[in-house]
Every structure is written in structure tokens, then in C-alpha cells.
Amino acid sequence: MRWLKRQFIDASLAQLLYDQASLVKWFGREVPGIALGHTLPFFAEIADTVLARLVAAGVTIIPLEKAVADPAYDEVGSTASSKFLVLQQKLADAAGTRIPVLSPDIKGLHRRIVEMAGDRRD
């Protein structure tokens, strides 16, 4: 469990930084990202550490209302998709220019977690 917590925290930071970099690349500017934490016991155990690591990495936490006031969210909201993608990935997918969902830094970990889950993924 300690390994999983440590890996999840590291992967969360790597994924957020990757998503932010691809967001800047897609829009050509900084756009406030929106990160969600699941209300599960596991996340409750690591939330303080995840948030502290994000702040230490330079992430600024702002109210949701301020983030969605950015015009980029109007563009994303007007683009329909049935896929689970973050906003720049959704727009890129609609434009036929796919942005990989996972950070290259965590592909190996993701593969390992999926293997560990086995048939319990549904």
C-alpha cells in the first residue's frame, strides 16, 4: 500500500504537469486547468500530500468559477465527445490531432497497475 500511495502521488504530479504542458501547447497560452479528486478513502489518505506536492511544484489553486471563466472552456463546452478526455485532448481529438492521454513518464506505472487490477477493472 505504501508503494501504491507513493506511486500514485508521483504519477498525479507527473500527469498534471504533462496535461498543463499539452494545454499550453494546444492553446498557445496558459489556461487554468481543473483537477478533480475522487471522494474515496484512498484519496482521503493522500490528498494532503498530493496538494502539497502540487503547490511545491508551482501549481496555484484557484476557485472553479475563476477557472471556467477562461474562454477556452467555451470552446471545449461547445465540442461534443463521448470520450473521457481533458479539454485540450478533447479539442485535439475533434480536430483529428490526437494528444496522448497519459504522460510518457507514467506509462510503465499505468501498465503495472492495470496488470495488478486483473479482472477487477470493471
- Residues 4-14 have pLDDT tens digits of 888 888 998 99
Q: Which whole number is the average pLDDT over 17-39?
A: 87
Over residues 63-116, the pLDDT tens digits come to: 999 999 999 888 888 888 888 788 888 888 888 888 888 899 999 888 888 888
The CA distance from 14 to 99, in Å, is: 16
Residue 121 has pLDDT above 60, yes or no: no
Residue 49 has pLDDT above 70, yes or no: yes
Read off the DSSP letter of residue 35: -
Q: Which whole number is the average pLDDT over 45-54?
A: 91
Residue 56 has pLDDT above 90, yes or no: yes
Burial 26-48 (b: 16+ CB within 10 A, else e): bbeeebbbebeeeeeeeeeebee
Which pLDDT score is estimated for 69? 93
- Taken in order 69, 87, 11, 35, the sign of the CA dihedral is positive
% of residues, the chain, pLDDT over 90: 20
Cβ-contact 45, 39 below 8 angstroms: no
Residue 122 has pLDDT above 70, yes or no: no
